Structure 1
Amino acid sequence: MSFSGKYQLQSQENFEAFMKAIGLSDELIQKGKDLKSTSEIVQNGNHFKLTITTGSKVLQNEFTLGEECEFETMTGEKVKTVVNMEGNNKLVSTIKNVKSVTELKGDTIINTMTLGDIVFKRISKRI
């Protein structure tokens, strides 16, 4: 199953609590909470290129499954991680105590990030 495509954010849960927990300022949280982000995923075999555009901010990360890579986080920090595939539709990684699971279900991507007992969920649809 290919993740390639463009996806528009439809809904999110626990945005403010999660962003506060990872260290985003209240000002940035207020600015970002109503912005609809667009994600573009280009999958070529085991290699992925991810571009997330939220307002004027563009975040780009690339990775190859099972290999260490460097990700830029939502706070602008660069961290090393490894992304693995579970089954044929789930990408899993851990970045600085945050477990990220991105699951593709038809034309919907569900991204769940967990930090301690805070679960942040984003649902995006293919456009």
Structure 2
Amino acid sequence: MNFSGKYQLQSQENFEPFMKAIGLPDDLIQKGKDIKGVSEIVQNGNHFKFIITTGSKVIQNEFTLGEESELELMTGEKVKAVVQKEGENKLVTSFKGIKYVSEFNGDTLISIMTLGDIVFKRISKKI
């Protein structure tokens, strides 16, 4: 399965509690909560490039499945993580106590980030 495409945010759950938990300042949380961000994914074999645009903020992460990569978080912090593929349609990684799962279902991208008992879910549709 090729994950390439552009996906626009349709809905999200627990945005504010999750962003507070990872240390994002309140002013940025308020700015970001109503923006319908766009995620662009470019896949070339096992190599991925994720470009996430939220308003004027752009985060670009590149990684190869199974290899340690440096990823930029929403806070601007950079962490080392290994992204794995689970089954045919999931990408999974963990960093700083956060489990991150991206699941592709046809033209829908479901991203779930779990930190402790806070589950932040984003649903985006291919555009």
Q: Distance in 2 between matches of 1:75 and 1:58?
A: 12
Between the aligned partners of 2:49 and 2:125, the Cα distance in structure 1 is: 18
Letter in 2 for 1:112: I
1:34-73 map, 5 Å: 34-73=34-73
Q: Amino acid of the residue matched to residue 33 of structure 1?
A: K
Distance in 2 between the 1:11 and 1:67 partners?
31
Match of 1:5 in 2: 5
1:104 alignment partner in structure 2: 104
Deviation at 1:95, TM superposition (A): 1.6
Q: Which amino acid in the other structure matches residue 61 of structure 2?
A: N
Aligned partners of 2:107 and 2:65: how far apart in 1?
22
Q: How far does residue 88 in structure 1 lie from its aligned partner after superposition?
A: 1.1
- Equivalences, count: 127
Question: Which position in structure 2 is the counterpart of 1:124?
Answer: 124
In 2: Cα distance, 1:59 partner to 1:95 partner: 17
Uncovered stretches (5+) of structure 2, i.e. residues with no partner:
none
Corresponding position of 2:26: 26
Name the Cα RMSD after superposition.
0.4
Cα deviation, 1:75-125, whole Å, max 9, x if unaligned, reads 000100000000010000002110000000000000000000000000000
**TM-score (ref. length: structure 1):** 0.99
CA distance in 1, matches of 2:82, 2:34: 30
Q: Which runs of 4+ in 1 moved over 2 A?
A: none
Percent same amino acid at aligned positions? Answer: 76
Q: Which amino acid aligns with 1:93?
A: T
- How far does the alpha carbon of each residue in 1:34-75 deviate from its partner, in whole angstroms, 9 at most, with x for none? 011000000000000000000000000000000000001000
